[in-house]
Amino acid sequence: MNMTESIQAARVGEMQRSGADSATLEFRFAATQPVFAGHFPGHPILPGVFQLEMARVAAEAVAGSAMVVRGIVKAKFRRPIRPEETIHVEVKLVAQADSSQARATFSVSGQPAGETILQLTRNT
């Protein structure tokens, strides 16, 4: 299973739209997921690259089309995300001339877990 498939499998519940270009999605990774195998032994945490990919997947859900990351404007990880925690991802798409920015925030149990801004283009 690749990273995107793993993220899709971890999605729980339905997307909650909060406007035409914004929504909230939730994800929960089982402790048995291979992503935790080496990151870190005895103290598993979700790698930051998975959080960035969750933001892209959430942006695709909002846009209704495939998107490609062209750049990472910002990536800030505030707290470790552990197996079995429910990750609340709020994403807002901001249209630009020839691309979009996905602004995503991550939280767990009401605590900020991270934030990112991705520069995206539609995958045609």
Question: Which residues belong to the active site?
Answer: 39
The C-alpha R_g of the chain, in whole angstroms, comes to 14
Amino acid at 51: Q
Please, are residues 63 and 100 in contact by the beta-carbon 8 Å criterion? yes
State the Cα–Cα distance between residues 113 and 93, nearest whole angstrom: 20
Phi-psi domain of 8 (left: phi exceeds 0; alpha: psi -120 through 50; beta: other): alpha
Asked if 84 and 31 touch (Cβ cutoff 8 Å), the reply is: yes
